[in-house]
Chain A
Amino acid sequence: NAGVTQTPKFRILKIGQSMTLQCAQDMNHNYMYWYRQDPGMGLKLIYYSVGAGITDKGEVPNGYNVSRSTTEDFPLRLELAAPSQTSVYFCASSQGPEAFFGQGTRLTVV
């Protein structure tokens, strides 16, 4: 069972570069989320989606964009990377109160 798959696992970006973090789920869940976790902090919601074609902002959306063209995929786009975006990013999906998480992408912006 793959569950929620994130790629890449690690990435180093230079300031001003852009990249897309990939997320795919095979559980046919309608709801998908992107969180970031900074050291010593809980997870903060960046964006979420309630179904294909529908996305909305979470607590910390600035500097990010998302799209949801299919039920399975929910990529997160970083434009003009900044050091403040150095973090661990988690994608999750749900079809009820319990969310299932991917293994995370550790991103460093230098």
Chain B
Amino acid sequence: DQQVKQNSPSLSVQEGRISILNCDYTNSMFDYFLWYKKYPAEGPTFLISISSIKDKNEDGRFTVFLNKSAKHLSLHIVPSQPGDSAVYFCAAGDSWGKLQFGAGTQVVVTP
């Protein structure tokens, strides 16, 4: 029962352009939504989060949008940089960190 879905396994974007990653969920009881970034041979690292009571959160080049009626969130990276090349996981869960993860989107930023 996959409650968090990332339907795009990969995304290629030019350096300096916008990267948009999408995520859908089915459980309306989730309190928090998070994005993690993962490099090969490393553990996931936290990128940005948003609580269910907000619809937007920004942190530097990263912005997360939440559309509760559509059960959809997205991550915008502007501008994209070569160091952003990684796998990005969408996650959703409660207020103390028990998370469900999507399958991930591999982002490749090309010069």
User: Which A residues form the contact surface with B (CB < 8 A)?
Assistant: 4, 30-31, 33, 35, 40-45, 48, 50, 90, 92-104
| B side interface size, CB within 8 A | 28
Main secondary structure of the interface of A (DSSP, over half): strand
Taking each of B32, B46, B49, B51, which has the highest tally of chain A beta carbons within 10 Å of its own beta carbon?
B46
Specify which chain B residues have a CB less than 8 angstroms from the CB of A94 in the assembled complex: 96-97
Question: Residue of A at shortest CB range from B48?
Answer: A98
Question: Residue of B at shortest CB range from A103?
Answer: B43
User: Which B residues form the contact surface with A (CB < 8 A)?
Assistant: 4, 6, 9, 31-32, 34, 36, 41-46, 49, 51, 89, 93-104
**Are A33 and B97 also in contact (CB < 8 A) when A40-B9, A97-B34 are?**
yes
Specify which chain B residues have a CB less than 8 angstroms from the CB of A41 in the assembled complex: 103
